[in-house]
Each structure stands twice: as structure tokens, then as C-alpha cells.
């Protein structure tokens, strides 16, 4: 009897690290990823003929060489659409398959958070992460006049990468005051300081303005350009640009998958806890070893103590203090017509019309919040904060309830075309 495969969703550092350890232990493994090649967000690979600009490339090269030497199956340009109560997983896209894996490993990385602002849904307003994906896949800096705004160290990284490729941003608008905490910064690991110093040296040489304690309060279209109003401690400023990249931190991303009694489910890397690339590989390898042990001899998966994870957890907590600011005050001050749910076009006025502290059922069925393709992954945090008695409290992990199956929109044709190796009857084909 053929041994069931372990399904690893995500071909970044954590996913490939787990797959390597599972395959090395003799477990059949299938790695699925939406991208055309392995790499994840950090080591996203360029299009054919484009130059790679990924940092720490040697680390990735060593890992992918390990993976290529092992019997690992790959399914690229493939979406993981969900896991049902029977333990059946659906893959959709280039690979259409219903399978019953021996275990499911979620290595989906982190998701980018963007706080609603006036004009944030306009064309050419994207996330800073989307600009970085463009930069890495094209091997070129995003073109035109670009403003980066929001909160977090990713803004500095993207700005430096753009600058090195010949198109520095017009400015960086940072909500916090990260340079006001030198003692906190000096306590970060040396690798963090070295990387940050390289980015800052690039930006200083290019004279890229960094506005701290500043906030984008409105974005408006002016012909083919964007007019961006920024509040700073020294008064308002207006930038005329072609593109805006927004970023307000990153969050863990489990994709909405719940525990399943029929199949072990394990989340690794930033999917489980946002600790960055340095911890993702350690988490993936440790999780793969523990899962292989459990599948082989039934030994329960144990939390593997790791000095890397402990160190990176402390570093991320310190970064959170360095970049702390009162984002919720800005959310409360937004005009009522500001879109807060992009999928359904729901505004703050729509949310307020539901009354004080509406229940999840009211938010979804009456307000339509969390009912679009993202199922609340993007808007849930802001909806929960804007409708809470105390918006300063952190929202629950699933503020709009659990995501529904399928977890991602899929084509009916893909569902019909899916091959089944679950032992169940195949899906009916057209005309039957």
C-alpha cells in the first residue's frame, strides 16, 4: 500500500525546511505553493532572464540544494483551497487534486497589515510588500515617483532596495519614532544592526527623507498622479507621486485552517508566530523532525526548545517597542465614508450603523464584513477595533469568525478536474 504524503503548503524557508527533514526521515512529501518557483516572500525568485536581488542568497541556495537531493514532490502555481472534516485537502490551479494527506504542514508565512486611510483603495496605492514582490520578480525598482508610508522596518528595507536599483522613494513616512530609542536598538542582535546600518547608509547617501511621527491622512487622485497629504510634527506636507506603498506591520497567517481530528495539522514559521526569516528555517526544520517522529512511531510532537527561536522572539518584541505608536487613534478619526472592507466596499458608516459592539453574526450577515474573497483576513482586525468598546485592546485571532471552505476562491472547472486519491468516489464530470 502506498504511504500517504505529508502535504506542506508554502515553499519558503519554513516549508522547505520542514519538507527536507520529513523526506530525510523517509516520509513522502508534497510541497504546494502559489508561486511558479520555491522561495517564499524572503527568497522570491526573479522571472527568467532577470537578476536575483534576494539577500542571504547563500542560505537559500544551501537549503534548496538539500531539497533537490531528496525525493520531494512539488506543485507550483497551485492554491491550497482547504481541509474538510474528513481530512481531505483540495489543491487547485496547475495541480487539481483531492488528497488525504498523512499530515498537513502550514508554512504560509506572514500577511501584511494595512490600516485603512482616506484614498487607500485608489489605483496605484498598494502595499509596500507588493512593491517588494515586483522588485524581486522583475529585478527592477518600481517605476515613477513612489512614497512609502506606514509603520515598521520593512519600509526601510524596501526603500533601500529601491535605491540600490536606481529609483529611491520620494520619502518614507513613518508613524512611530524609531530613532528615538537608541538603547533599545543597540540591544538588538548584531545581525539586525548590521542589516539596518547597510540600509540606512544607502538611504543617507541618496538623501531619502524619513519623516517620523508622521501620518498619511489622505490620498487623492489628481489626473494620473496621486496627491498625498501627510501630517508631521512640523505641520502638514503634500507629496505628488505616481505610486504609494502602505505597510502597517505583519501578522501571522494560518490561512483560516482549523484543527482537524482526522489529520494532524502543524503551523510553522511566520504562519504560527511572526519571528522573521532567521527563525522561519529553524522552526521548519524542528517541526519537520518532530512531525516525522510522530508519524513514524506515534511519539507526540514536542515543542523543540531552540535558542534561535528564543533569541528572535526577544528581538521581535524589542522591535515592537521601537516601532510602537497609537494607530487606533487614527482609525477613530477617519471620515465615515472611508472604506474599511475592500472586498465588499463596506465603510465606517456601514459599520457604525450596526450599533455598538455588534456580534460577529451581525457584522457578517448585516454588514457584509468578512464575506468577500479575503474572508476577513485583511479587514477583520480593523473592523474589530473600530467596533469595540476599547479599540486599544488587541482583537481576537479570528475577529470575524473562522474562514469558510474553500479558503481561497477557486474555479468550478478546477474542482471538476480534480483527481481524487482519497479512496472516495471521483467527482462527477460534465454530462454524468
Q: What is the pLDDT of residues 154-163, one digit of tens each?
A: 999 999 999 9
Ramachandran angles phi, psi of 104, nearest 5°: -120, 125
pLDDT for 304 beyond 60:
no
Alpha-carbon distance values, 408 to 10, 80, 145, 257, 323 (Å):
14, 8, 33, 11, 32
List the beta bridge partners of residue 174. 150
Smallest CA-to-CA distance from 267 within 400, 133, 110, 129 is with 110
Q: Report the percent of the chain where pLDDT is more than 70.
A: 94
Q: Are 252 and 404 in contact (CB under 8 A)?
A: no
Average pLDDT over residues 250-276: 87
pLDDT for 77 beyond 90:
yes
Residue tagged 502638514 (cell numbers) = 236
Q: Are 10 and 40 in contact (CB under 8 A)?
A: yes
Average pLDDT over residues 111-119: 93
Please give the CATH superfamily to which domain 125-248 belongs: FAD/NAD(P)-binding domain (3.50.50.60)
State the DSSP string of 236-258: EEEEEESEEEEEE-EEE--TTPP
Distance CA 235, CA 202 (A): 27
- Cell numbers found for residue 99: 488528497
Confidence of residue 299 (pLDDT cuts 50, 70, 90): low
pLDDT for 387 beyond 70:
yes
Q: What is the pLDDT of residues 175-197, one digit of tens each?
A: 999 999 888 888 999 999 999 99
CATH topology agreement for domains 6-111+251-317 and 125-248: yes
CATH code 3.50.50.60 for 6-111+251-317: yes
- Cell numbers found for residue 346: 463596506
Residue tagged 547597510 (cell numbers) = 198
**pTM to 2 decimals?**
0.90
- Cell numbers found for residue 52: 536575483
Q: What is the pLDDT of residues 208-261, one digit of tens each?
A: 999 999 999 999 999 999 999 999 999 999 999 999 999 999 988 877 777 788
Domain ranges of the chain: 6-111+251-317, 125-248, 326-387
Smallest CA-to-CA distance from 86 within 405, 408, 419, 410 is with 405
Amino acid at each position: 500500500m502506498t504511504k500517504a504524503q505529508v502535504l506542506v503548503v508554502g515553499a519558503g524557508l519554513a516549508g522547505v525546511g520542514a519538507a527536507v527533514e520529513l523526506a530525510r526521515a523517509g516520509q513522502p512529501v508534497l510541497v504546494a505553493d502559489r508561486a511558479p518557483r520555491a522561495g517564499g516572500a524572503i527568497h522570491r525568485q526573479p522571472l527568467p532572464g532577470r537578476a536575483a536581488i534576494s539577500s542571504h542568497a547563500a542560505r537559500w541556495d544551501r537549503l534548496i540544494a538539500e531539497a533537490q537531493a531528496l525525493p520531494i514532490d512539488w506543485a507550483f502555481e497551485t492554491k491550497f483551497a482547504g481541509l474538510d472534516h474528513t481530512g481531505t485537502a483540495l489543491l487547485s490551479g496547475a495541480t487539481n487534486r483531492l488528497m488525504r494527506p498523512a499530515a498537513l504542514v502550514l508554512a504560509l508565512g506572514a500577511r501584511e497589515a494595512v490600516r485603512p486611510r482616506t484614498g487607500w483603495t485608489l489605483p496605484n496605492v498598494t502595499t509596500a510588500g507588493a512593491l517588494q514582490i515586483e522588485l524581486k520578480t522583475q529585478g527592477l525598482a518600481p517605476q515613477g515617483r513612489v512614497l512609502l508610508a506606514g509603520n515598521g522596518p520593512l519600509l526601510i528595507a524596501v526603500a533601500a532596495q529601491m535605491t540600490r536599483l536606481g529609483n529611491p522613494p520620494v520619502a518614507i513616512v513613518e508613524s512611530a519614532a524609531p530613532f528615538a530609542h537608541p538603547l533599545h536598538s543597540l540591544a538588538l542582535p548584531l545581525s539586525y544592526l548590521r542589516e539596518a546600518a547597510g540600509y540606512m547608509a544607502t538611504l543617507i547617501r541618496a538623501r531619502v527623507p524619513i519623516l517620523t511621527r508622521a501620518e498619511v491622512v489622505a490620498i487623492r487622485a489628481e489626473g494620473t498622479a496621486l496627491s498625498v497629504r501627510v501630517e508631521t510634527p512640523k505641520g502638514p506636507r503634500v507629496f505628488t507621486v505616481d505610486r504609494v506603498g502602505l505597510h502597517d506591520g505583519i501578522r501571522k497567517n494560518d490561512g483560516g485552517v482549523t484543527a482537524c481530528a482526522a489529520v494532524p495539522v502543524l503551523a510553522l514559521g511566520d504562519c504560527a508566530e511572526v519571528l522573521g526569516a532567521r527563525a522561519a528555517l529553524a522552526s521548519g526544520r524542528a517541526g519537520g523532525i518532530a512531525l516525522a517522529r510522530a508519524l513514524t512511531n506515534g511519539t507526540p510532537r514536542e515543542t523543540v526548545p531552540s535558542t534561535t527561536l528564543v533569541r528572535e522572539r526577544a528581538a521581535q518584541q524589542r522591535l515592537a517597542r521601537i516601532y510602537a505608536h497609537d494607530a487606533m487613534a487614527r482609525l477613530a478619526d477617519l471620515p465615515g465614508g472611508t472604506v474599511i472592507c475592500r472586498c465588499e466596499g463596506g465603510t465606517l458608516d456601514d459599520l457604525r450603523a450596526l450599533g455598538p459592539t455588534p456580534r460577529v453574526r451581525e457584522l457578517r450577515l448585516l454588514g457584509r464584513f468578512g464575506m468577500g474573497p479575503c474572508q476577513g483576513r485583511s479587514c477583520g482586525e480593523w473592523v474589530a477595533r473600530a467596533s469595540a468598546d476599547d479599540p486599544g485592546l488587541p482583537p481576537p485571532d479570528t475577529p470575524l469568525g473562522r474562514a469558510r471552505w474553500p479558503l481561497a476562491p477557486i474555479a468550478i472547472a478546477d474542482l471538476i478536474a480534480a483527481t481524487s486519491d482519497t479512496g472516495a468516489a471521483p467527482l462527477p464530470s460534465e454530462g454524468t
